[in-house]
Amino acid sequence: MLDPRLLYTLDQEVADSLAGEEPVLVHLLDGYIDAGSVVHGLSRYLLEQCEHDVLAEFDHDQLHDYRSRRPQMVFDTNHWASLTDYSLVVYRLLDANDKPFLLFTGPEPDTQWNRTSAAVLQLAEDFGVTNLLTASGVPMAVPHTRPTLVTSHATDPNLATGNPMWIDRVQLPGSFSHMLEFRAGEAGLVGRGFVAHVPHYLAQTSFPQAIVAVLERITEAAGLAISNDDLDERAAANLATIASETADDADFPAVVAALEEQYDQVQATDAAHVPTADEIGAAVEKFLAEQDPPDYRR
């Protein structure tokens, strides 16, 4: 393997500011399942809410397949007016109490996953990171009118207890964040993730309610102070929009009512139908095929 450190450049001044801090590292990468825009929306929200500086920038030209995910460009009359460029960055963020933490975000690498994960884990070692956190959203048969369920996973199973019944054991196409968590566990670090259950009929839209749910789990796990007031307002506005847009749909109330009944039964009995591996795999493949390319502009 080529030296992983050659994949990124480090801002030494920002690095020096982290001396002795032992921050957590949150990794949120676009490109895999992102129902409700949980990954992309949470990354943007953290950057909106927290003072931040670039700690390390990866040489994304080594990691991106431009013919697979082409940059979006705008042609205006007789010239190219803009280009949506790509960046893969580790930021240093400060929470409301000026506590630093790291955010690794951008498009998921197309190549060199082992080398990139080694680079991230080397950065973790350099800055005393012992905990890596991530979040995602998956489409599920749940109603938007009930609290968002969250399934957790961790390198230490004792940190991922009390999950809603979802799946037992299944083989799925992995993501870079999944690999990073796995490699972190091999290196003796703690990796944790929080998966929001997004109503399947809203999977292709932004669902702030799910972003709130995973943000609360991340801040609790990391001991961070990050307000979710703006997200709460967006969630309330989103629910109002859903109600307005579905007001004339005669079938929609019955669909939601059936999902509510199923949700309430599951919550009351702590039991649910566990989908088969084929059902989960087919749902994941279908969702991946339907995804639109995200907007990577910051």
Integer Cα distance of 104 and 91 in angstroms? 6
3-class DSSP assignment, residue 153:
strand
Burial per residue of 103-112, b for 16 or more beta-carbon CB atoms within 10 angstroms, e otherwise: bbbbbbbbeb
Question: What CA–CA distances, in Å, run from 43 to 106, 171, 265?
Answer: 9, 27, 33
Strands 79-83 and 73-76: antiparallel
3-class DSSP assignment, residue 205:
coil
pLDDT value of residue 290: 61
Per the CB < 8 A criterion, the answer to whether 80 and 45 are in contact is: no
Residue-level pLDDT, tens digit, the chain, 298 residues: 899 999 999 999 999 999 999 999 999 999 888 999 999 999 999 999 999 999 999 999 999 999 988 999 999 999 999 998 899 999 999 999 999 999 999 999 999 999 999 999 999 999 999 999 999 999 998 999 999 999 999 999 999 888 876 566 778 889 999 999 999 999 999 999 999 999 999 999 999 999 999 999 999 999 999 999 999 999 999 999 999 988 888 888 888 998 988 888 877 775 544 454 455 556 556 655 665 555 555 5
Per the CB < 8 A criterion, the answer to whether 108 and 32 are in contact is: yes
Question: What CA–CA distances, in Å, run from 45 to 20, 24, 87, 104?
Answer: 27, 17, 17, 14
pLDDT value of residue 284: 55
Integer Cα distance of 49 and 38 in angstroms? 16
Integer Cα distance of 93 and 23 in angstroms? 10
Q: What are the chain's domains?
A: 4-290 (3.40.50.10900)
Query: Residues 39, 222, 140, CA angle at the centre, nearest 5°?
Result: 35
Residue 93 phi, psi dihedral angles, 5° rounding: -115, 155
